[in-house]
Chains A and B, each alone.
Chain A
């Protein structure tokens, strides 16, 4: 096999790009130059072989999680299992629902163990692990729809917040969704928890049995998908405003349960142009930048 992970600095010379199979990470660390260098070396070391480690247990990772015990051995695999365990009681979920966030968390952990950093992030295709210290902060942009461009809102996460993980799930994603949400973005204490919770909430944004929603067994699309023959959303037709509200409300109830249980810090749910926020503060308020383009655009 000719495979080798891709490890390179991006053209800006600041960010590290790590890619291996389906894992694609953008990493940036802030701090003293020597620390950043050490952090990147640590990230690279940890990254090499990580995919093989996961694939060795892939069959087990694709099975529904048992909350009591697990046969999984790898540290990332066990983190995936732990992230989905709180949800196994009342719905179908496999550790794969938390793979992206868990990998991001692992790489960030390796960097922090090797160097003292002011702040850092590991972005695994939208599932992001954060590190913040002192007065550092990140500005996060939320996408309107994942298959198109445009930032709807922005929000700020600073070192005082408990948020260290961000993840987005929805029907446009690389993974399938059982729900109809365009995007559910979750803030949580860790990236792996955010990843699992985003999946759960996106699944809850739904109108069961609605005829305008096209659903297809997952294994018809991807023969070895962990969702098996469960119906995944392929298309959402026209919905009335009331139906959009109803679907979002179902998602909101689920998100509020998770918020009350301390599993997430906040969430933004988006469906067909409508957005609702749960818990998190600034997400609800559109960023002033959002308004500006409309005015300019008329004169484009």
Chain B
């Protein structure tokens, strides 16, 4: 050997573990239980098999601290924190092993083999014997460019078929996130630049049903702009993908805090509900419930405002004309476009006074005493009006029946959320880590012989060339994403196929390790439970 290269491991091994003892695990190969026990929403971790197995005797101390007696340092450990070794942590009052062992080893030999961990120690290995375990790529490491075999090529028996999981972490320069923000509020014009920390990281794309889409990242922001733009884009993508909150500012629009699986916060206000439908659809859904209780209903919506008396649903119920005069452009009877400017007021418009979308009532049809309900598409805003002698609508207290119908609209609105899909392309060099004839892997994926997963989560693979996939980041284990200073994101990707298929596509057969070998070296770690995640 010539020069022996190793990394000044720096704090790498000493990764700030205290408050994130369970969060830093992305460098550690974990066994993911695909069974219902841990994937179930609301699993609090305590019922998990592994925790029960790993719980140790602890010395009772005052308060919620525990005293670790694993070594003579005898650390006091606070809940959620780890001891001086970063190996034992206080999880809800129980001393558990967190095992960041491989971090150091990975540091010492990038992408190298892993440290055997106390064979015969307190890990009983039971989980590994369950047939539904899945080895994720998180922490598997990779080399760049990926000309070497992927760090772990693991085989396991599934239903008598010799299965192979090629586990690697891909470095994705071609990657980004698609963000769906459930809101009616106007976030910004289509194609407007989306910024994080002042840097352009993406743009506003299409408005979809009850939500606004953002497209962030991509190779141009990662590598095409300034050094800072690339770094901020990389941080933004990583934080969003790791389900952390990120503040985004849209040119000519709103400031929104986006966090996967959480409601968006638009200009400081948390969005609660997603619209029940457009204004016209709302009329259709509730026309019967309003019939006989009110003369006119207007559902204010930036996209399609609905008017009960003119709408097809009202006609079917023989609701009489009311002489109402809407602003905006009439599309079909009872459906109006552009009644106001887009904004963050009623129904995604810029108005705070709903009467501003009305012209004067027509005296031929209107009469004093006529009643009118105005409501937004989420039921968040509502007002009740009675026409006076001059046919002007005057706000009055809303009758109970109508209040209930507004509450019904609210009830039918689903909670507003942000969803983040990571999208990346497994290009030439990553595939080479899996097989020496990369295109065969692509074909194998297209032919559905090879299943692609990311951190154990199902992915959608785009038709067409390459292996471009999308994955819901909330289905992935905590802290699944990392970065390299290129800048590019590091994301786990697994290819699972029959052993025979793997051989046929030119797999690195010499590097295959049986699953049991992973267990013996105990480089396994149960999936941590992170509140708010569905994984």
Contact = CB atoms under 8 A, between A and B. Distances in A.
Interface of A: 1, 3, 6, 8, 10-12, 15, 17, 19-22, 24, 26, 28, 30, 51-52, 55, 58, 121, 123, 125-126, 128, 137-144, 146-152, 154, 156, 166, 168-175, 183, 185, 221-224, 234, 238, 273, 293-294, 296-300
Contacts of B74: 55
Nearest to B119: A8
Interface of B is mostly: loop
Contacts of A156: 3
Given A11-B116, A24-B104, A300 B11 contact: no
Contacts of B170: 300
A146 B174 CA distance: 24
Given A12-B112, A168-B11, A21 B71 contact: yes
Contacts of A142: 7-8, 10
B8 A128 contact: yes
A52 B74 CA distance: 11
Contacts of B483: 148-150
A55 B16 CA distance: 23
Given A22-B83, A150-B483, A300-B430, 17 more contacts: A3-B70, A21-B71, A55-B71, A55-B72, A55-B73, A125-B13, A126-B11, A126-B14, A143-B10, A146-B14, A148-B482, A273-B227, A296-B144, A296-B145, A297-B223, A300-B427, A300-B488
Contact of A294 (B69, B71, B223): B223
Nearest to A167: B8
Interface residues of B, number: 77
B429 A296 contact: yes
B71 A298 contact: no
Interface in B104-136: 104-110, 112-118
B86 interface: yes
A238 B11 contact: no
Interface string B424-437: 01011110000000
A238 to B, nearest CB: 6
Contact of B84 (A3, A22, A147, A234): A22
B118 A6 contact: yes
Summarize A's interface: helix, strand, loop or mixed: mixed
A12 B113 contact: yes
B362 interface: no
Contacts of B85: 21-22, 24
User: Which of B11, B71, B110, B427 counts the most chain A CB atoms within 10 A?
Assistant: B11
Contacts of A51: 71-73
Nearest to B56: A2
Nearest to A294: B486
A139 B11 contact: no
A-B pairs with lowest CB-CB distance, top 3: A174-B14, A21-B71, A146-B11
Interface centre among A128, A149, A151, A223 (most CB of B within 10 A): A149
A251 B354 CA distance: 59
Contacts of A144: 484-485
A17 to B, nearest CB: 6
A141 B197 CA distance: 30
Interface of B: 3-19, 24, 65, 69-78, 81, 83-87, 101, 104-110, 112-118, 141, 144-145, 170-174, 197, 219, 223, 227-228, 231, 425, 427-430, 482-486, 488, 490, 521
B113 A300 contact: no
B81 A222 contact: yes
B15 A141 contact: no
A55 B19 CA distance: 25
Contacts of A224: 75-76
Given A174-B11, A183-B10, A10 B105 contact: yes
A11 B104 contact: no
Contacts of A17: 105, 115
A147 B3 contact: no
8 contacts: A55-B73, A147-B24, A149-B110, A150-B484, A174-B14, A174-B86, A294-B486, A298-B173
A170 B12 CA distance: 10
Contact of B3 (A3, A139, A172): A139
B5 A223 contact: no
Given A3-B71, A166-B8, A26 B484 contact: no
B104 A149 contact: no
